A = this chain, B = another copy of it.
């Protein structure tokens, strides 16, 4: 079944001329017979960063084998149809060396390109020398790519921290990458906030997402350290028109009016940074706001149905706006309470501001008071945080009836650069001024 068990056959891995990275003797997909499914789905892949090999949300026979193209003008994982699971990590950079940091980013890029294609890191979990630690930790051996995307972002503290220009990047900090203001009701835990660098791993299989973050953390060992991480078990938004809108842990559909990943005009207007927006290196990138939102689910669960529906401005069963019949019917905002969540968050209440949401539900054990620690890990991408999340959240924090049942307990903001266009380039290359 496999000669990978034969240690005598181990040796120097051949180099793949296409990307200069070591090639594994055995591909992750072929090892356990996934080749057929992987190749079939891979053949359907379209070029470009937002290309998608399979769209399970739109298919009657969902498949988790699909491969999302890593290279392209935009990073995958933003307009990509939302995958089922999330592992998100914020890293602190622990080295003072700009060169070491660049080294990590180069290694990460090669690893990300491999893992999103369903390959192991480097020579793989079993392809290297028996006397050395394997290049890959191995728990994704035999698993298909599972629509894995890895999306990197740079936090404000990477550019400047405690007044210090750590890596010579201070002048390159985009104006749109603001520190978020304090919102009423925030109760932020510093240990769950901030971070110099983030990586968002989304996949249809959590093992694949966890494997990816873990292997990046391992590559960066001694130079970067995980500051905080978050597992998301269920997506709460869709970027695919006509797909079923998932429900959040309050039992409601709350991601109906989202920027569609196929709506290039809306993406250009609301999501992608454009020439002239500020720093050139961010053109084609996007700004990410991450908020850990704890839900007081026990209190919510004791609230009458009618009140729940009034608070959201939607009915619970269908998700239709107040007074309407279907989820996607155009809402009549004036028919809702002035404090209704949908009304306050709607673009018409915010000067047309839209953000692309791709949040996930989380449950992280128990809070010590006999209650489940659960909520929404909110992720939103936008062209400019000052015109996207900040004004919308100001309005929500001041007026939203939902505030009685939620609390923002973690917060971070990141500048996510444009996509890596081809093999040999690396995450952050334009930021660090390397035009190679």
Write the residues of chain A forming the contact surface with B, with a CB cutoff of 8 angstroms: 1-2, 4-5, 7, 26, 31-32, 61, 85, 87, 92, 94, 125-126, 128-134, 136-142, 191, 205-207, 210, 213-214, 217-218, 221, 225-231, 233-234, 244, 246-252, 297-298, 301-306, 308-309, 315-318, 320, 325-326, 361, 363-366, 368-372, 374
Contacts and interface: CB of A to CB of B under 8 A. Distances in A.
The listed residue with most B CB atoms (<10 A of its CB), out of A227, A234, A366, is A366
A374 B214 contact: yes
A115 to B, nearest CB: 14
Contacts of A250: 137-139
8 contacts: A5-B318, A5-B325, A92-B370, A138-B250, A138-B251, A210-B233, A225-B370, A226-B366
A316 B366 contact: no
Contact of A234 (B92, B206, B368): B206
Contacts of A309: 130
**9 tightest Cβ-Cβ pairs between the two chains A and B:** A138-B251, A225-B370, A4-B317, A126-B317, A206-B233, A130-B306, A5-B315, A5-B318, A207-B234
At the interface, is chain A mostly helix, strand, loop or mixed? loop
A365 B229 contact: yes
A364 B363 contact: no
Contacts of A85: 206, 233
Nearest to A87: B363
B229 A26 contact: no
Contacts of A246: 207
Contacts of A137: 249-251, 297, 301
A118 B371 CA distance: 24
Contacts of A205: 234
Given A191-B368, A221-B298, A229-B372, A316 B138 contact: yes
A324 to B, nearest CB: 8
Contacts of A234: 139, 205-207, 210
A221 to B, nearest CB: 7
A26 B363 CA distance: 27
B2 A304 contact: no
Given A130-B306, A221-B298, A370-B225, A31 B317 contact: yes
B305 A126 contact: yes
A351 to B, nearest CB: 30
B244 A2 contact: no
A142 B244 contact: yes
B7 A306 contact: yes
Contacts of A325: 1, 5
Contacts of A366: 226-229
Given A213-B372, A228-B365, 11 more contacts: A128-B305, A130-B305, A137-B251, A140-B247, A210-B233, A210-B249, A221-B298, A226-B370, A227-B370, A229-B365, A229-B366
